[in-house]
């Protein structure tokens, strides 16, 4: 390991600490994330041995992957915000009549779990959080339920090939087949949600204050149309991807374009409805959380480019003998670092010739990378989204959620081993 790699790791850890303790040092986490991203890459470029053109082409591959996630996020957030400002979610919130905390927890968790098996985790989380804001107006009461949305979204994504980026990667690369992974991982994934769900529901008591204000709230003109087209647009994304082969963010962008067109047509004659049109919606999008993503993903990719992640993977393989333990370790790691490079690294480490399609190792890795990320708030894209949208900090997530989630993760892994 040469000096530049050492510096990259040091800067990364210092920056990561600044992000974790955002509330203590009072520096916005996006600023820290962007700074570590640029500095880590700058060190990598300055300490290079390969020619600049080669470095740049490697960098641009990372930028391309990252920007696709960023554009996806931006599009999905705008789409959901557009539905929300038309009060389209009243269609769902009108159905959820309960005010019992316990019932609400179950309803929301199951809704998230199944939604996220079709939609990706990030969209599901954004969608469910905007729903929750309607149903539970008090931020403090929403916190726990928001955290379990993240757990349910990650678990729900793990068992379907289209529900989660890492499972999708393994599926596209031919490590998994559709029906086999669904059959093998459905019960473990469900178990990993049920454990924290039972724990939290035993602790939640009483009812939320009845929310008359939303029931009385009138829907905006065209809310039904915008709601159905918007939801249709989200469901269209995986269809568009399989149909054309284009990456998901293109699907989101065309759905957004269509919805933009529709709202322009509906509202163009009414100047007082300016607030319902996309330009004013865009000004309400939380751009700093989008930039936070950019920074974090860039920073992690610099570690990957410098080979730090590869060292860890090799070390892991040499130190731990048994496959379930390796998968568990990968799950725990995915709580710390992005699970996409992690799974990419394992795909490179274990050849398909030794571990053929649908070998238990691949199932375990799909499960572990998908659900292990819930243990820390920074471990998954949905967790980071929750951090940005609901201003939940690292420490309070760790205190309240990490242990039950870890128990769920291990229980699910145990169930998988028992069933096979």
Q: In the stretch 282-311, what mask flags binding to another protein with x, by CB under 8 A?
A: xxxxxxx--x--xx----------------
Q: For residue 411, give the nearest of 385, 379, 359, 374 by alpha carbon.
A: 374
Is 137 a binding residue for another protein by CB under 8 A? The answer is no
Is 70 a binding residue for another protein by CB under 8 A? The answer is yes
Count the neighbouring beta carbons within 10 Å of the beta carbon of residue 270.
11
Q: Among residues 69 and 335, whose Cβ is nearest to another protein? A: 69
Q: Which of 126, 145, 234, 278 binds another protein (CB under 8 A)?
A: 278
Q: What gap in Å lies between CA 320 and CA 329, rounded to an integer?
A: 9
Is 324 a binding residue for another protein by CB under 8 A? The answer is no
Contact status, residue 302 vs residue 37, Cβ threshold 8 Å = yes
- What would you report as the CA-atom Rg of the chain, rounded to the nearest whole angstrom? 22
Q: What gap in Å lies between CA 315 and CA 231, rounded to an integer?
A: 45
User: Under rule CB under 8 A, which residues in 212-241 are in contact with another protein?
Assistant: 240
Least distance between another protein and beta carbon 349 (Å): 22
Stretch that binds another protein, among 67-75, 231-239, 334-342, 348-356 (CB under 8 A): 67-75
Structure tokens at 283: 């000004």
Is 359 a binding residue for another protein by CB under 8 A? The answer is no
Least distance between another protein and beta carbon 235 (Å): 16
Q: What gap in Å lies between CA 44 and CA 55, rounded to an integer?
A: 9
SS3 state of residue 51: coil
User: Under rule CB under 8 A, which residues in 73-102 are in contact with another protein?
Assistant: 74
Q: Which of 128, 143, 181, 253 binds another protein (CB under 8 A)?
A: 253
Is 128 a binding residue for another protein by CB under 8 A? The answer is no
Q: Please count the residues of this chain forming the interface with another protein, following the rule CB under 8 A.
A: 61
Q: Among residues 115 and 299, whose Cβ is nearest to another protein? A: 299
Residues 6+ apart with CB under 8 A from 169: 340, 343, 344, 347
Q: Which of 260, 293, 367, 409 binds another protein (CB under 8 A)?
A: 260
Q: Which of 55, 220, 358, 393 binds another protein (CB under 8 A)?
A: 55
Is 265 a binding residue for another protein by CB under 8 A? The answer is yes
Which position has the token pair 């915000």? 81
Q: How many degrees, rounded to 5, is the angle at CA 61 between CA 57 and CA 62?
A: 120
Residues 6+ apart with CB under 8 A from 395: 20
Contact status, residue 138 vs residue 146, Cβ threshold 8 Å = no
Q: What is the largest CA-CA distance in the chain?
A: 69
- For helices 287-305 and 52-85, angle between their N-to-C axes, nearest 10 degrees: 150
Least distance between another protein and beta carbon 264 (Å): 5
DSSP per position, 148-197? HHHHHHHHHHHTSTTTSHHHHHHHHTTS--HHHHHHHHHHHHHHHHHHHH
Structure tokens at 292: 């936070």
Q: Which of 5, 7, 21, 65 binds another protein (CB under 8 A)?
A: 65
Is 126 a binding residue for another protein by CB under 8 A? The answer is no
Q: What gap in Å lies between CA 291 and CA 83, rounded to an integer?
A: 23
Q: Among residues 146 and 295, whose Cβ is nearest to another protein? A: 295
Q: What gap in Å lies between CA 419 and CA 218, rounded to an integer?
A: 51
Least distance between another protein and beta carbon 139 (Å): 17
User: Under rule CB under 8 A, which residues in 18-47 are in contact with another protein?
Assistant: 26-28, 30-32, 34-35, 37-39, 41-42, 45-46
Least distance between another protein and beta carbon 76 (Å): 13
Least distance between another protein and beta carbon 297 (Å): 12
Phi, psi of 100 (to 5 degrees): -70, 130
Q: Which of 152, 277, 373, 374 binds another protein (CB under 8 A)?
A: 277
Is 103 a binding residue for another protein by CB under 8 A? The answer is no
What residues make contact with another protein under the rule CB under 8 A? 26-28, 30-32, 34-35, 37-39, 41-42, 45-46, 52, 55-56, 59-61, 63-68, 70-71, 74, 240, 243-247, 250-251, 253-254, 256-258, 260-261, 264-265, 268, 277-279, 282-288, 291, 294-295
């Amino acid at each position: 390991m040469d000096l530049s790699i050492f510096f990259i790791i040091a800067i990364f850890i210092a920056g990561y600490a600044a992000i974790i303790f955002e509330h203590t040092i009072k520096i916005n986490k996006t600023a820290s994330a962007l700074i570590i991203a640029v500095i880590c890459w700058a060190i990598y470029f300055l300490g290079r041995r390969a020619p600049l053109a080669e470095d740049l082409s490697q960098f641009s591959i990372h930028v391309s992957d990252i920007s696709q996630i960023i554009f996806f996020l931006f599009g999905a957030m705008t789409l959901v915000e557009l539905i929300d400002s038309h009060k389209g979610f009243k269609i769902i919130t009108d159905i959820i009549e309960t005010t019992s905390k316990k019932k609400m927890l179950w309803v929301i968790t199951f809704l998230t779990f199944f939604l996220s098996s079709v939609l990706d985790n990030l969209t599901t989380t954004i969608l469910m959080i905007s729903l929750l804001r309607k149903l539970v107006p008090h931020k403090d009461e929403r916190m726990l339920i928001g955290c379990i949305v993240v757990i349910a979204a990650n678990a729900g994504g793990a068992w379907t090939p289209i529900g989660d980026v890492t499972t999708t990667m393994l599926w596209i690369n031919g490590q998994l087949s559709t029906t086999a992974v669904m059959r093998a991982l459905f019960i473990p994934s469900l178990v990993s949600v049920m454990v924290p769900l039972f724990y939290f529901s035993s602790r939640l008591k009483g009812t939320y204050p009845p929310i008359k204000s939303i029931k009385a709230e009138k829907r905006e003109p065209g809310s039904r149309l915008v709601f159905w087209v918007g939801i249709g647009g989200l469901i269209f994304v995986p269809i568009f991807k399989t149909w054309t082969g284009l990456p998901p963010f293109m699907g989101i962008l065309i759905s957004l374009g269509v919805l933009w067109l529709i709202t322009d047509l509906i509202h163009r004659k009414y100047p007082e409805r300016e607030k319902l049109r996309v330009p004013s919606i865009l000004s309400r999008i939380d751009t700093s959380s989008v930039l936070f993503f950019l920074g974090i993903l860039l920073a992690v990719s610099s570690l990957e480019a410098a080979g730090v992640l590869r060292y860890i993977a090799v070390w892991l393989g040499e130190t731990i003998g048994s496959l379930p333990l390796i998968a568990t370790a990968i799950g725990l790691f995915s709580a710390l670092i992005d699970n996409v490079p992690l799974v990419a690294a394992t795909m490179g480490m274990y050849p398909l010739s030794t571990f053929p399609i649908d070998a238990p190792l691949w199932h375990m890795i799909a499960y572990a990378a998908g659900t292990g990320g819930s243990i820390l708030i920074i471990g998954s894209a949905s967790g980071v989204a929750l951090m940005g949208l609901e201003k939940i900090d690292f420490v309070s997530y760790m205190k309240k959620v990490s242990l039950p989630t870890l128990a769920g993760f291990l229980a699910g892994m145990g169930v998988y081993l028992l069933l096979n």
